[in-house]
C-alpha cells in the first residue's frame, strides 16, 4: 500500500500529540519534521524515527515534491507564514488553532486556497470530534428549538505558572494579541458553532457583550479570563466562560443546551457522561463505556495536566476524518474565520476587570 507522505512543522508537545495520533493511521507516514532550531528538529526526528529534519520549510517542499500533507504545530504567530508556504507548495494543510492571530490573516489564507493546488484544509479543533461531544451533538435534535447554549472552559495553567515564576505572562510575540481567548476561548466558541449546526435551525450568532479579566494592565496577551455573550436572530443566547486562572479545576469543559423540549448537559466533557432531562419529565443518561474507548499507543508522551484519553481521541478522530474522508466533517478555514471574528468583536466591545478581583471573589465563595 502506497502511504500518504506527511510532514510536521513544529517540534514541541502539540507536535508530539499529532505524531502520536497519526500512528493510528497505517496509511500515513511522517517523513519529515521542521523546527526553527536545528537541535530541536534533529532531536524530534531521532526520538520518533522520522527520517528527515529541517529548519527551512521551503527547503522541505523543494526536497520532497512527493509530500502530500503538512501538520502546522508551531507557535500561533508563525501559523500564517507556514500555511502560506504549504498552500504555495500545493500540499494539504491541517493547522493547529488558532489558524491565525487575526481575522485578516485568516481571510488571506482562505483566499490563497483558491489559488493553490492544495486538496484539503482543516483546523485542529479536536474537542468537537471527541467521542463524547459527538454523542452530545447527536442528542441535540431532541431539544427542539434551542433557547440557550452554555459552554464553560476552565484551566488552572496561569495560576500554576505564577506559582512557578512570579509575574509570568505569555509572550505576545509567540501567542499573538490574545492569551485565553486565542488558546481555549476558540475551542469553546467552536463548540458553540458545532452545536448550532447540529440543531439544524440555521442559527447565526453575533457578539453581544464581553467582559475580559486581565493581568497587569489591558494589553496584548494579558487576557486571563473572559465571559462573552452571543445572540442568534431567533433569540437563542450563547454564553461562553473561559479562564486560565481556575481555582476549582485544572482542565474542565462544561456544556449545557436548553431547548423547548428539554435540557442536555455534560458537567465535564472529559468525564464522558451526558444527561438529558425532557420537558415532560423524562430523563436519560449516557456514559462512554470502557469498551468504546481508544487505548493510546504506549508512549512516553505526557499529556498536559488533566487532559485525559478522550482529549487524545479527538485528535485521532479528526485525523482519521481528514485522511479517510468518512462521515465526520473536519473544522474548516471558514469556521475558524468565524471564531476569529467573534473573538475580535469581543475585544472591541469588552469591559475590562483586573483578574485579582475575580480571584478574590472566587476565594470568598
Domains along the sequence of the chain with CATH = 4-124 (3.40.50.720), 127-363 (3.30.360.10)
Please tell me which residue, 305 or 138, carries the higher pLDDT value.
138
How would residue 280 be classed by pLDDT, with cut points 50, 70 and 90? Answer: very high
Q: Are 51 and 32 in contact (CB under 8 A)?
A: yes
Predicted local confidence at residue 296, as pLDDT: 39
Predicted local confidence at residue 362, as pLDDT: 74
Predicted local confidence at residue 284, as pLDDT: 95
Euclidean distance between CA atoms 255 and 265, whole angstroms = 6
Predicted local confidence at residue 301, as pLDDT: 36
14-54: pLDDT as tens digits: 999 999 999 999 999 999 999 999 999 999 999 999 999 99
Q: Which of 26-40, 87-101, 276-290, 296-310 has the lowest mean pLDDT?
A: 296-310
277 DSSP 8-state letter: E
How would residue 302 be classed by pLDDT, with cut points 50, 70 and 90? Answer: very low
Q: What percent of the chain has pLDDT over 70?
A: 93
Predicted local confidence at residue 311, as pLDDT: 74
Mean pLDDT of 333-351: 97
Mean pLDDT of 214-223: 90
Query: Average model confidence (pLDDT) for the chain?
Result: 91
Predicted local confidence at residue 165, as pLDDT: 86
Continuous segment of H or E residues that includes residue 127: none
Predicted local confidence at residue 154, as pLDDT: 97
Euclidean distance between CA atoms 148 and 231, whole angstroms = 9
Counts of helices then strands in the chain (DSSP H, E): 13, 15
Euclidean distance between CA atoms 192 and 331, whole angstroms = 13
Q: What is the CA 211 to chain-centroid distance, rounded?
A: 21
Mean pLDDT of 147-165: 94
50-94: pLDDT as tens digits: 999 999 999 999 999 999 999 999 999 999 999 999 999 999 999
Alpha carbon separation from 244 to 107, 180, 273 (Å, rounded): 28, 6, 24
Predicted local confidence at residue 220, as pLDDT: 86
Q: What percent of the chain has pLDDT over 90?
A: 79
Mean pLDDT of 107-131: 94
Q: Which of 64-73, 79-88, 215-224, 248-257 has the lowest mean pLDDT?
A: 215-224
Does 106 have pLDDT greater than 90? yes
Q: Which of 162-171, 272-281, 334-343 has the lowest mean pLDDT?
A: 162-171
Does 291 have pLDDT greater than 80? no
Please tell me which residue, 167 or 137, carries the higher pLDDT value.
137
Distant-in-sequence, close-in-space partners of 256: CB < 8 Å, separation ≥ 6? 148, 149, 150, 263, 264, 265, 266
Predicted local confidence at residue 289, as pLDDT: 65
Mean pLDDT of 109-125: 95
Amino acid at each position: 500500500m502506497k502511504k500518504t507522505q506527511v510532514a510536521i512543522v513544529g517540534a514541541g508537545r502539540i507536535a508530539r500529540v499529532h505524531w502520536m495520533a497519526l500512528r493510528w493511521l497505517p496509511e500515513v507516514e511522517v517523513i519529515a519534521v521542521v523546527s526553527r532550531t536545528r537541535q530541536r528538529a534533529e532531536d524530534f526526528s531521532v526520538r520518533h524515527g522520522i527520517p528527515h529534519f529541517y529548519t527551512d520549510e521551503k527547503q522541505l517542499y523543494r526536497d520532497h515534491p512527493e509530500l502530500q500533507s503538512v501538520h502546522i504545530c508551531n507557535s500561533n504567530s508563525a501559523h500564517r507564514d507556514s500555511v502560506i508556504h504549504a498552500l504555495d507548495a500545493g500540499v494539504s494543510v491541517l493547522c493547529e488553532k488558532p489558524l491565525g492571530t487575526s481575522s485578516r490573516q485568516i481571510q488571506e489564507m482562505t483566499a490563497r486556497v483558491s489559488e493553490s493546488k492544495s486538496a484539503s484544509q482543516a483546523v485542529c479543533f479536536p474537542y468537537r470530534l471527541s467521542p463524547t461531544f459527538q454523542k452530545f451533538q447527536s442528542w441535540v435534535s431532541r431539544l427542539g428549538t434551542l433557547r440557550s447554549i452554555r459552554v464553560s472552559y476552565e484551566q488552572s495553567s496561569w495560576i500554576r505558572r505564577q506559582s512557578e515564576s512570579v509575574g509570568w505572562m505569555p509572550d505576545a510575540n509567540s501567542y499573538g494579541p490574545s492569551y485565553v481567548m486565542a488558546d481555549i476561548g476558540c475551542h469553546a466558541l467552536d463548540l458553540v458553532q458545532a452545536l448550532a449546526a447540529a440543531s439544524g435551525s440555521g442559527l447565526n450568532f453575533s457578539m453581544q457583550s464581553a467582559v475580559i479579566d486581565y493581568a497587569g494592565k489591558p494589553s496584548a496577551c494579558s487576557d486571563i479570563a473572559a465571559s462573552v455573550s452571543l445572540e442568534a436572530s431567533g433569540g437563542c443566547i450563547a454564553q461562553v466562560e473561559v479562564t486560565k486562572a481556575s481555582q476549582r479545576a485544572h482542565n474542565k469543559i462544561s456544556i449545557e443546551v436548553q431547548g423547548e423540549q428539554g435540557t442536555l448537559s455534560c458537567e465535564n466533557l472529559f468525564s464522558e457522561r451526558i444527561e438529558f432531562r425532557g420537558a415532560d419529565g423524562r430523563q436519560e443518561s449516557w456514559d462512554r463505556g470502557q469498551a468504546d474507548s481508544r487505548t493510546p499507543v504506549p508512549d512516553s508522551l505526557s499529556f498536559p495536566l488533566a487532559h485525559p484519553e478522550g482529549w487524545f481521541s479527538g485528535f485521532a478522530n479528526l485525523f482519521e476524518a481528514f485522511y479517510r474522508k468518512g462521515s465526520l466533517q473536519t473544522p474548516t478555514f471558514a469556521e475558524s474565520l468565524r471564531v476569529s471574528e467573534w473573538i475580535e468583536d469581543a475585544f472591541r466591545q469588552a469591559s475590562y476587570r483586573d483578574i485579582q478581583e475575580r480571584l478574590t471573589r472566587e476565594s470568598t465563595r
